[in-house]
Structures are given as structure tokens and as C-alpha cells.
Amino acid sequence: MTITITAFQRSPDRGRGLARDMRVRWALEEAGLHYDVRLVSFREMKEPAHLALQPFGQIPTYEEDDLVLFESGAIVFHIAERNKGLLPDETNGRARALAWMFAALNTVEPPIFDRSLVTILERDQPWYQHRLSALEDTIRVRLASLSARLGDADWLDGAFSAGDLLMVTVLRRLHGSGILEEYPNLAAYVARGEARPAYSRAFEAQRAVAMAASAG
Amino acid sequence: MTITITAFQRSPDRGRGLARDMRVRWALEEAGLHYDVRLVSFREMKEPAHLALQPFGQIPTYEEDDLVLFESGAIVFHIAERNKGLLPDETNGRARALAWMFAALNTVEPPIFDRSLVTILERDQPWYQHRLSALEDTIRVRLASLSARLGDADWLDGAFSAGDLLMVTVLRRLHGSGILEEYPNLAAYVARGEARPAYSRAFEAQRAVAMAASAG
């Protein structure tokens, strides 16, 4: 079985591990799977060959024999279902892990991702401060709920799962904002995720691509 | 097996089927399952009893024997996995259906949901028109990709699946905006979903709650 994923040839985050291939790399490393990476330029992402794999012209994609997948959440779930270490064995626990995966991507990520975009694209607009504080208020509402649920546990629901993997990648985008530090148990949770050997291997792999791109 | 879901006692959309219990009701109707509904007030949603089921204080939740689930995407997948008619039988097809579920909720829904919020909350702000057009541009980029992929097919990937179910509920939020009509194949796709008998049963059930609330 050969696994090939796609990633940015030049990631806009310059190797900070915020692009969505990071999630897939991390899941593959947790599962101990070898994978190839095909780098795509922004132009190539909008061309028919890539659109056949990813209808929205984004990265990552995942190819394995005759299976083609897109959406990092679905790719991580596919890897998690077929390998040890990313989902509980018990059926109900697996359903709950998927709930945390959707919570990460549909409930927690949208305001955090918007905040990043606004700080880049709307900094000079007259509504900038208003938009930024509105988004940060929404983020705090979500983080307060998440922090209350996590309590002093290591992970969201028993052992480390694909739900934690996605949630940590979503929360990492707050590094540098000061917001994560308002919730010490969440800051520790993110640090716990980042301390996993599989995380480090994935992070270094994506960082090497960014370093090569900036040198080239 | 008794299934109980939660829904708004007074839905902010007044029965237009935009609240997220609609998705779960629709999936349950497609699967031919009986379910009970427990209505919760906005106050009750933020109280410990509900937060134990839904850490972010939202609806819907799903209870079935000793399983408690939240996140409409995860609930719909759980129903789809255990019943006929919402996922292909073949393994790769199931993984692709989950990709469309994540695409609906993580790629297509965020700008559409934001547009709704902006039209309610920011209508009197000086930046309203600018914000609205920026969001509508983003929505059009997503819809153009989706429209190109759908082409003249009935559904996104073979037979109707949980991916279509979620995508239709996401696109429905554009009713009245005029945007959906710019993509005739997507407008027809939404109409095809809304014409399903299971959709009608779910829609009428949630509408009856809203009618009772406004009469009460």
C-alpha cells in the first residue's frame, strides 16, 4: 500500500505547522505509516488534475491504491479506523471520538481561523478592532466550554484519540494571541499534544518543506 | 432501543428548518427510526444537566441507551453507519461520504453561517455592505467549486448519502439570498433533497414545534 498526500509547495505559514497537511502527517506518524508527499503550487491547486482529487482546490489530499480522499477530518478518520492508537476499540467510544473531531472542525475552528484571516486581511480596515474583539469573545466562549469539559484530564475522552489530534491542531493556531494562556488546562493540553513523538516527526517533516522552499 | 434528541424550545429560525436538529431528524427519518424529542430553553442549554450532554451548550444531542453524542455531523454518521440508505456499502465509498460530510460542515458552511449572522447582527454597522460582499464572494468561490463537481449528477458521489444530507441542509440557509439561483444545478440539488419524503416528515416535525411555541 502506497500512501501519497499533497501539501503546499510554499506554505503561507512558513513551516509553523498550521497548514492542514500537518493533521494528516501527525495521524500517519501516530499510526506508524510511511507516506509520500507531492508538493503543489497555488497555481497547480486550481488546475483540473488537482481539482479531480480536491473539488475545492485545497490541500491536503490522500491517495491510497484506488481510494482518493479530501478533507483533513475525513482523512484522519480513515487512518484512525484502520490503525491502532487513534480511536478507542469500543463502538460508543469511537462515535464519541468522531463527535470531538467534528467539534474541533465545526465548533471550535471557525472563529479561530477567522481571527487569523482578519489579522492578516483586515488590519487596515476601520472595523478591525471591532471584528477582532467580537471574534475573540466568540473564541473565549468556546474555550471556556472546552476548558470546563477537559478539567484536569489529559485528553478529552479517555486515551488520546483522533479527536484530540484535531483539537490540538485547531488550538495551536492561537499561539501568540495570548488567548490560550487564559485557560491553563488548555495550554497544557496543547503542550501535551505537541510533546508526542509522532507530532514532532510530523512537524519536522512539514518544516523541512518550508525551509527548502524559502532557500530555493 | 429508545432514541432521544434535543431541540430548541423556541427555535430562532421559527420553524424554517435551519436549526441543527433538522439534520438529525432527517437522518432518523431516512433510516425509518422512531425518536423522542426533548425541548430545551436557552437557559436550560447552559445548565449543568445539558452541558453534561453537550459541552458547548448547544443542540442537538443524541441519546441511545448508554451512548450520548453531540455534533450533528457525528450524530448523522452514527445513524448512517448503523442503518441502510445513508452510506454506500463499499468501504471506499463510505470514506468518501464522510469527506463530503466534513466538506459540508468545515468548508461550505462557515461562510454561509457567517453571512446569516452578519445580516442579523451587523446590519446597522458602517461596514455592513463591505462585510456582506466579502462573505458572498467567499460563498461564491465555494459554490462554483461544488457546482463544477456536481455537474449534472443527482448527488455528489453516486447514490444519496449522509454527505448529501448535510450539504443540502447547509445550502438551504442561502434560500432568500438569491445566491443559490446563480448555480442552477445546486438549486436543483437542494430541491431534490427537499423533495425526499423523509425530509418532509422531518421538516413538518420541527415546524410543529415552532408553531406550538409561537402559539404558546
Element (H, E) at A8: strand A3-8
Chain B's closest residue to A46, CA to CA, is B145
Residue B104 and residue A71 in contact, taking contact as beta carbons nearer than 8 Å: no
Which pairs count as long-range contacts for B134-137, CB under 8 Å and 24+ apart, including other chains? B135/B111, B136/B177, B136/B179
ipTM associated with this complex: 0.96
One domain, residues A38 and A76: yes
Residue closest to A173 by CA, chosen among A109, A106, A118, A101 = A109
One domain, residues B37 and B120: no
- All three cell numbers of B158: 453516486
Q: Is B127 on the interface with A (CB under 8 A)?
A: yes
- For residue A108, pLDDT beyond 80: yes
Q: Is A105 on the interface with B (CB under 8 A)?
A: yes
CATH number (domain holding residue A62): 3.40.30.10
Q: What is the pLDDT of residues A74-84, one digit of tens each?
A: 999 999 999 99
* Segment B20-32 mean pLDDT: 98
Q: Give the other-Cβ count within 10 Å of B7's Cβ.
A: 22
Residues 16-55 of A with CB under 8 A from B: 51, 55
Q: Are B98 and A114 an interchain contact pair (Cβ–Cβ within 8 Å)?
A: no
One domain, residues A161 and A99: yes
The answer for residues whose C-beta is within 8 angstroms of residue B197's C-beta and 6 or more apart is B29
Domain count, chain A: 2
One domain, residues A123 and A192: yes
Out of A92, A102, A127, the one facing B125 most closely (by C-beta) is A127
Q: What is the rounded CA–CA span in Å between residue B57 and residue B40?
A: 10
One domain, residues A187 and A99: yes
Residue closest to A142 by CA, chosen among A208, A186, A99, A175 = A186
Instruction: Tell me which residue range forms the domain holding A9.
Output: 3-85+198-215
Q: What is the rounded CA–CA span in Å between residue A160 and residue A71?
A: 21
* Average pLDDT score over chain A: 96
Q: What is the rounded CA–CA span in Å between residue A90 and residue A155?
A: 17
Q: What is the pLDDT of residues B72-117, one digit of tens each?
A: 999 999 999 999 999 999 999 999 999 999 999 999 999 999 999 9
Residues in A closer than 8 angstroms to B94, CB to CB, are none
One domain, residues A150 and A125: yes
Structure-derived torsion over alpha carbons of residues A40, A42, A43, A49, reported in degrees to the nearest 10: 40
Chain A's closest residue to B112, CA to CA, is A110
One domain, residues A173 and A96: yes
CATH number (domain holding residue A124): 1.20.1050.10
One domain, residues A95 and A192: yes
How many CA atoms lie within 13 Å of A209's alpha carbon, on the beta-carbon side? Answer: 27
Q: What is the rounded CA–CA span in Å between residue A167 and residue A73?
A: 11
Q: What is the pLDDT of residues A17-29, one digit of tens each?
A: 999 999 999 999 9
- Total number of residues shown for chain A: 216
Q: What is the pLDDT of residues A120-134, one digit of tens each?
A: 998 998 889 999 999
Query: What are the residues facing B61 on neighbouring strands?
Result: B70
* Segment B170-177 mean pLDDT: 97
Q: ∠ CA A60-A63-A64 to the nearest 5 degrees? A: 145
Question: What is the structure's pLDDT at A103?
Answer: 98
One domain, residues B189 and B95: yes
One domain, residues B81 and B96: no
Q: Are A99 and B74 an interchain contact pair (Cβ–Cβ within 8 Å)?
A: yes
Q: What is the rounded CA–CA span in Å between residue A72 and residue A53?
A: 13
Q: Give the other-Cβ count within 10 Å of A152's Cβ.
A: 6
- Residue A1 pLDDT grade (very low, low, confident, very high; cuts 50, 70, 90): confident
Q: Are A103 and B66 an interchain contact pair (Cβ–Cβ within 8 Å)?
A: no
Percent share of chain A, pLDDT over 90: 92
Out of B100, B110, B145, the one facing A57 most closely (by C-beta) is B145
One domain, residues A108 and A185: yes
Q: Are B55 and A127 an interchain contact pair (Cβ–Cβ within 8 Å)?
A: no
Question: What is the structure's pLDDT at A216?
Answer: 67
Question: What is the structure's pLDDT at A145?
Answer: 98
Chain B's closest residue to A126, CA to CA, is B127
Which whole-number Å values give the CA distances from B82 to A58, B59, B89, in the listed order? Answer: 31, 22, 11
One domain, residues B181 and B137: yes
